[in-house]
Structure 1
């Protein structure tokens, strides 16, 4: 192929796999071969339709990835590097050699980049999270944001004034810092702590021999992804200039290499179903659930337009049992109809949290989903009027694209900065607590729900933001995608 083949390596977990799949599909749509490289544990989650396109392919590394945070992480990582090296060396001959490898900065960039360096294949850093979180992480380090005084707002040069940091912003990261320290203790036998990655805040290694890192760097420290992407020739981010232009421009100025917004990386149906329901079952592998999509549609159809608040903390993070109890009580005392999606293992127990007795008390006002929830369907239904969310990036862009405002309850990682983007920059929601969302009070939850659901101006702004996506996949993202591909192919090294 004249343009050359591009490999894409997502990090572990479906929240990283799905954006990687969409990036491959976009590359293929521009007439270039795109190959998704995954470890065997992720292969079953790849839709069969992905393999039908002659310009998209899958390489499955027949091994399990290293498990960040595990006691044997260092040994697993070395084994993973060896397996990945052997596998790729056997498939990177002159006829199939990729012109570059796009590596997810969460986990992958810390050790897989070394594999590709040895193979002489150039790498591009891939953020499945947004531009704001990476920019604020970098700017907080540059501004030495560790000594902010009460009442002070530490402006971040080069970024919008409303994104200045306050004492409460540092408090909101207190749990992340504690987790970060725990990660260091768990990985203390692994060697130096150089850092790698960015994104959703999962545990992750800090590079070859390094301990796990959780969430963005503590305030004032160098972001983990900076050193990890030093050898990359460019960065691509799961966002677009229409949504996060100031943050993409800031990053490009600071890192001294091209930065392109090639998203949001959402399924094709998201862009072609404007004004109609999105059926998750047609897009993503179904998982066990106590409801069907038809159950959800019937329940939502019976509720007034914009009256329902959807409550979900994603698939990989959650509250403590005490916090879940506070949330259950607040939802019970509220008069608003709600859908509450509760994931297995929530609350830290194997069986998961469940608000026993709540359904009997609220009756038809509640739909409690245990297991898989059709989130795109719920967010695209006209009865949904608000989203109590952890502000994971996938959830954030899905709701923004459907005009649903937020009550933000970030828990870890980039979620804190995503929440700041939503509340302060886009102004399409509120924080669940103005003091410290890690220590939220029960009364704050109820007040936040009522405030959000009764604020017509916030709802109007959310609809206005969604308008930038009503014409389909953003033109600015397509322009950046073309610029990225042209840069790679015109500067290829054979």
Structure 2
């Protein structure tokens, strides 16, 4: 990997991502935005070597520079940490950046930047509502709630009040006294940066700024440039901007041909991302619900880390015929969501998926599994009102009948579809103006306080 050799000129900003595409891709887009042609600030993406295979080919043709570090440690006690830290120190000492934007998951590196008096901005690749709800739950000791109890958080919209299941997730929630793991990671930061925008999460951004007492910049959603520059109704061909992570049993052309054959707004897209999925007992319930439904669907089933098949609904394809399309492996999510036939997205509620659905105007059927997904689902269903829950409210059991009813409710709710289109219209002029202004405010703050 070629490494940029130019020295910092006092206006360079380092961006340090964490592992995983959900952290890398927003960091790449952030680099491009900070280094936009109409400003003097430049960026250097400090890319751990284990993220190099995920780097889009288009990266080098835009505005940010790249330097490679050793493989990123998965946690702060990883034996690889010492070498990673040593190389990071070398980069800082030879280039002396204006500041560092550090993914909070690798917040332990802030001490290395501080050695050289480089201020650190903590970067959240997930949304402000999840961070605000986690902070509010912690401060109100909501993890001691009893079943059936509901608790509002002062300063946040009333519809976002906490219930017992919000803080005790289906797969085991944290105990009373729990502190969000990102809190110690951001201590000492000069500001917080979020992968979101005013149009989606203004109340939560204000709450975090008031509570934590730091500047908060909403600079997203940090989606590929094509999401903002493509004409309304045009397809976003993802392979042009992101390399596929795995092979797939369908080509883009085959997917487009299938989608073209379906009525506008009729297809339910089902995907749980790459890091979470239903349990072995829940998969058959989902398969049965898709069989019972009358709506066309695309179901993406990811292979396991070693390429093995953890689950496949054998027999479902023959039962549903051309109504269903089952993808094994990688799926071009932006292409599918941008197609006029897309009418709903059954999602785990990861932030990137949530933002993509909102920007493209596709209602969400939320099936959160853990972490921020629980509060992302609450944002979509309760606050933005552009979705519904896949499971019966108050239930922890996944049942075929409940999922089927959720699908029918989402796909047939005209008001939810209208609101989803209204949210999409907020982005009709491209990248949010409020986020562009936040980037300007961030640059001004850094130049004045570095």
TM range (shorter): over 0.9
Q: C-alpha displacement at 1:442, in angstroms?
A: 1.3
SS of the residue aligned with 2:151? coil
Q: 1:381-429 deviations in whole A, cap 9, x for unaligned?
A: 1111011100000000001011111110001110000000000000111
TM-score (norm 2): 0.93
TM-score (norm 1): 0.85
**Cα RMSD over matched residues?**
1.8
- 1:6 maps to 2:13: yes
- 1:87 maps to 2:95: no
Bigger drift between 138-147 and 447-456 goes to 138-147
SS of the residue aligned with 2:242? coil
1:243 aligns with 200
Question: Retained in 1: the 8 A contact 2:381–2:387?
Answer: yes
Q: Superposition pairs for residues 142-157 of structure 1, below 5 Å? A: 142-157=139-154
Q: 1:167 aligns with which of 164, 169, 172?
A: 164
- 1:361 maps to 2:319: yes
> Any gaps of 5 or more consecutive residues in structure 2?
1-7
How far apart, in 1, do the equivalents of 2:235 and 2:56 lie? 21
Q: 1:1-43 deviations in whole A, cap 9, x for unaligned?
A: 6651100011101111000000000001133110111211111
- 1:127 maps to 2:124: yes
Q: C-alpha displacement at 1:97, in angstroms?
A: 1.0
- 1:40 maps to 2:49: yes
Q: 1:320 aligns with which of 279, 283, 286?
A: 279
Q: Superposition pairs for residues 77-476 of structure 1, below 5 Å? A: 79-80=80-81, 82-93=82-93, 96-106=95-105, 108-109=106-107, 111-171=108-168, 173-177=169-173, 220-273=177-230, 274-286=232-244, 287-345=246-304, 350-435=308-393, 438-476=396-434
Alignment CA distance shift 1:7-1:176 (3 Å)? farther
How far apart, in 2, do the equivalents of 1:248 and 1:449 lie? 32
> Any gaps of 5 or more consecutive residues in structure 1?
178-216
How far apart, in 2, do the equivalents of 1:161 and 1:458 lie? 20
SS of the residue aligned with 2:67? strand
Q: Superposition pairs for residues 50-65 of structure 1, below 5 Å? A: 50-53=59-62, 55-61=63-69, 63-65=70-72
* Number of corresponding residues: 439
Alignment CA distance shift 1:144-1:75 (3 Å)? closer
SS of the residue aligned with 1:427? coil
Q: C-alpha displacement at 1:349, in angstroms?
A: 9.2
How far apart, in 1, do the equivalents of 2:18 and 2:128 lie? 18
Question: Retained in 1: the 8 A contact 2:101–2:121?
Answer: yes
SS of the residue aligned with 1:480? helix
Question: Retained in 1: the 8 A contact 2:57–2:241?
Answer: no
Q: C-alpha displacement at 1:92, in angstroms?
A: 2.8
Regions of 4+ moved over 4 Å:
217-220
SS of the residue aligned with 1:90? helix
Q: 1:74 aligns with which of 67, 72, 77?
A: 77
Q: C-alpha displacement at 1:238, in angstroms?
A: 0.2
1:189 aligns with none
2:24 aligns with 17
Q: C-alpha displacement at 1:143, in angstroms?
A: 1.3
